[in-house]
Structures are given as C-alpha cells and as structure tokens.
Amino acid sequence: MPKRSRRRPFRRLRPFANRDPARLVCVAEIATAHGVRGALKLRTFTAEPENVLAYGPLLDERGEVRLVIRRVVGVWKSGLIVEAEGVDDRTTAEFMRGLRLYVPRAALPEPGEEEYYHVDLIGLRVEDTEGRHLGEVLAVHDFGAGEILEYGHGRHRTRMIRFTREEVPVVDLAGGRIVVAPRPEVTVPPAPTAGAEEAEGAGEGGEARS
C-alpha cells in the first residue's frame, strides 16, 4: 500500500495514484546494481518497502512488464535488494538503472474518508474563498512537519500552503478544485541597528557624547 499520512489537524495523503483507473502509478525505481550476479537495488515508494511485492509484475511507463521479482535478498536505506527474472549479471542490472516501475491504478485500494492520493491533488484548480482562480496544485511536499501543497500559475511564481482543514477547507475531486484559506502573514519589523539604538538612547536621556 502506498505511503499515507493522517490529517490530525492535517489531511490524510497517499503519495501515489491518480483519478484515472487506466493509468499507472509509480511504486519503485531501480537505483543501481548490487553485486555481480544481477541483483537490483529498488528505491521503493510504498509505506513499507516489502509492499511493492504485493502487486505482481511491475510495469514500465508504457504498461509493459519489465520486472518480475524472484526473491528479496536484502534491504538498504531506500528500499529492497532483489533478484528478478532475466537479470542474471551486473551488466544487465546496470543497464536498468533509473527505470521507474509502475502498477495499474486499479491495483491500489481506494482512499478512505479524508484520504487523498498525492496525484489526485496535483493539477486541481486552486481557488480562494471568494472563488478567485489562484492557479493549480503543482506539487505535494513533506519537509517533516506535515504535507505542503505548492500551487500557482506555472513554476516561476508559486505559493505553498499547509494541507490542513483550516487552510484547505474544501477538496472537491469530482469538481477538480480545492479552496484555500491561507493564514494571514505576520510581518516582523527589522531589529534596530546599533547606531539607531544609540541615537534613541540619546534622544531619551539627553545629548549624545562626542
């Protein structure tokens, strides 16, 4: 099952999937070869690395079978080390480096209430609470303190907002839109310089000494 996060006050997200069941969902990538016998290091994008084994043969972006995992031979920091059918030497394994691996959207469970796949959100129209068009969702980030939506009209000028009920009160997948209510920005005045502090002190206590 793809990675999930709970809204708590945050909304719940699943990173990999999209609205069209006929389309494909990326669940892993071949990072590099391992050893001389054709083992592969898989960078997995699932909640638990071994979950990638649950979907059967893995496909390429055209929907063709590209990897049938025979067995797991180890783990590494980003996923699994596996042996696959037809990959019996390092040269073949190296040739597959960077290959992204997919499963059909229909193979994934439907998200529950207050759950959203990342790719279900990307591309949605973004409106404010008065209906003004603010662009579209461009990406979903997680820097460690909860999910952040990046939105705007293209990549040159974008904004970010926390994906919470408070700041994203409406998620309308059927209507292809979200409504955002950003919190007011807090402006912090710059700290006074040393010269300004001396001048202020002189104004309050008399003339400044030269």
What are the extents of the domains in the chain? 18-107, 115-180
Tell me the one-letter amino acid at 101. Answer: L
Q: Is 56 left (phi over 0), alpha (psi -120 to 50) or beta?
A: left
d(CA 142, CA 170): 20
Residues (pLDDT < 50) of the chain are 1, 3-11, 17-19, 21, 208-210
Which CATH number is associated with domain 18-107? 2.40.30.60
- Please answer whether residues 38 and 90 qualify as being in contact, where contact means their C-beta atoms are separated by less than 8 angstroms: yes
CATH number of 115-180: 2.30.30.240
pLDDT of residue 175: 95
- 18-107 and 115-180, same CATH topology: no
CB-count burial class (<10 Å; 0-12, 13-18, 19+) for 15? buried
The residue type found at 5 is S
Q: Who's near 157: CB < 8 A, 6+ residues apart?
A: none
> How confident is the model at residue 78, as a pLDDT?
93
pTM exceeds 0.75, yes or no: no
pLDDT digits (tens, 9 = 90+) for 140-184: 887 777 889 999 998 778 999 999 999 999 999 899 999 999 887
Which single residue is written with the structure tokens 């099952």?
1
Reduce the secondary structure of 149-192 to three states and give it as a string.
EEEECCCCCEEEEECECCCCCEEECCCCEEEECCCCCCCCCCCC
The pair of three-digit structure tokens given for residue 76, joined into one six-digit string = 């590494």
- The pLDDT value recorded for residue 50 is 93
Query: CA 59 → CA 18, 24, 27, 49, 52, distances in Å?
Result: 16, 9, 10, 17, 12
Please state, in angstroms and rounded to a whole number, the distance separating the CA atoms of residues 109 and 97: 29
